[in-house]
Every structure is written in structure tokens, then in C-alpha cells.
Amino acid sequence: MVRPGRSLCAQAGGLPPRPLSPGACLLEFPSMAGTKSSALLLAAAAVVAAVVGAAASLASSRASGAWQVAVRRQLEQADAIRAGLDELYLKEAPQALAVAAARWRAEELATAGAGLAEPDRVAVQAEAAKEVALADRLAAGGSPLATSAGYLTSAGLDTGRRLAELRGSAKVGPPVPPRWQAVGDRTAHRAIALMAATIPVGAAFACGALSGVFPARRRRLLASGAACLATAVAGALFAMVVL
């Protein structure tokens, strides 16, 4: 390498340095402009990579948190639905069926006894009264399915209506908001887009590093690195604003 401040001719011929005269060999000094440009490109690429990487990591963490909330809400809803089924079919339905069966027997006995003569009519009506009393006793302090006549239909007990009321009440808890899963999906897409934006940042860093190794192509490499860096910044802004 030619040392700055020494004659090219003197160093090439192995002779001691001599003062330069007009028109003699020129001195070679290192170019500082290209070095500064390469350093600035490398520093800018490092800063952009750090910022975009941090934003991608934060978006990924938020997506994971939203998905976890959605899973917890789904589990809560599943528990609430199971609680409603247990409340209906394990507690309310057996009592309501017993009350309904007693009332139906009372009605059938009363209908059958109306066309009978004494003393059979009195005996049948007495049995009907016993069934009515049994139904009242079973329904005392019972659930609405057992006490309200609105749940009785020609086909039997309207358990579907009662289950819908239980699910809509406070016993089964709040419904699952699907927006949590949508938030997680949207934030995950943003994180993926931000991670993709780091690819041109790496290309810009490579261009900046190679510009110091190949001085003849430094200008082209610096221009390419600046273009890659601008692409990365535009992609990151698009991911943060649009997605």
C-alpha cells in the first residue's frame, strides 16, 4: 500500500523519498467520503433493524396474548354451557317431569271419572285430587320449568326454551367475543409483515459492508443499500398503518 505523503515513483523504485516537483508523480491519499457513506449506511441499517425487529416482537407478543384471551373466553363459554345443561337436565328437568306427570295423571283421571257412575266416579276423582296435591307439593319451591305452565306444550316440556333462557342469564356467563381471535390474527399478520421488512434491511447492511471492500463499486453498492433501506422502512410503515 502506498503511504500518504510519499512519492509513488520513489516507493516503486525503492529509492529514498525526494521532494516532488511540478508534473512529478502524484501523492495518494485515502478517500474519506466513501468511508463515511458506508458507515452511515451501516448505522442506519442497524437502527432500522433494531426498530423493526422490536416492533415485530411486540406485535407477535400482542397476537399471542389476544389468542390466549380468546382461548380463555372459549373455555369460559364451554364451562357456562355445561353448567346450563347440568342445571336444566340434572336439577330442573327431573322435578319438572315429575310435576308434569302428576298433573297429566290428574287430568286423565278427572276425564275418565266424569263418565262414571257412583261410587266409581268419587273414587276416581279422589285419585285425581291426590295427583293434583302431589303435583303441587313437588312444584313447591321448584324451578320455573316445574312451576310455570308456559313450558308445557302438546309434545311435552319445552326444554329448548328453558335452556336458551339459562344461557342468556347470568348463570352461564358472558358470551365469547370473536373479536379477540380476530385481533390476534390481524396482529400476527402485522408481525409477519414486519419480520419480512427486515429482509431488505439485511440486504442494505450487506451493501454497506461490501462498499468498503470494493471501492470501485462503492457508489453503486451505496445506492442499492439506500434503496433497500427505503424499501424496508416503507414496508414497516405499511405494516404498522394498514395491517
The SS3 assignment for 176 reads coil
Compute how many other C-beta atoms are within 10 angstroms of the C-beta atom of residue 183.
18
| pLDDT one-digit tens code per residue, 4-61 | 444 444 444 444 555 544 444 444 444 555 688 889 999 999 999 999 999 999 999 9
The continuous run of DSSP H or E covering 77 comes out as helix 32-86
Distance of CA 35 to the CA centre of its chain: 46
Residue 91 — pLDDT band, cuts 50, 70, 90?
A: confident
The SS3 assignment for 177 reads coil
- Say if residues 81 and 167 touch (Cβ distance below 8 Å): yes
Show me where the domains of the chain are located.
Answer: 35-241
pTM: 0.58
Cell numbers found for residue 242: 394498514
| pLDDT one-digit tens code per residue, 157-214 | 888 888 888 777 655 555 556 778 888 899 999 999 999 999 999 999 999 999 888 8
- Say if residues 207 and 225 touch (Cβ distance below 8 Å): yes
The continuous run of DSSP H or E covering 209 comes out as helix 179-211
